Amino acid sequence: MNYYIVNNNVFNTLDKVKIDYALNSISKDLWVVTTTETVAFNIAEYESPEAICAYTVDNHSIWTGDGLGVEPSELEDIKYLEGI
């Protein structure tokens, strides 16, 4: 699995079948994405679910606004829904 932060333009080009998890930022201009696809034009790439989740905790005001961020279990339990 690959773990990325991408912008809307890149997200719109991704193969949605290959996306396992996607979370839109509060401002709706960035995405946390886990995918089997390799994304060349990403903003950031992470090695593990723990690493990308730590980023969302450190930057919770961008992603969740609750002071917590995304938990690794969310990446496993919540799947991408078509139409997000």
Q: Which candidate, 8, 11, 67, places its Cα nearest to that of 34? A: 11
Q: What's the Cα-to-Cα distance from 29 to each of 37, 77, 78, rounded to whole Å?
A: 20, 24, 21
- Tell me the pTM: 0.89
pLDDT in tens, 16-70: 999 999 999 999 999 999 999 999 999 999 999 999 999 999 999 999 888 899 9
pLDDT band for position 79 (cuts 50, 70, 90): confident
Q: What is the pLDDT of residue 76?
A: 81
Side-chain half-sphere exposure of 36, counting CA atoms within 13 A: 4
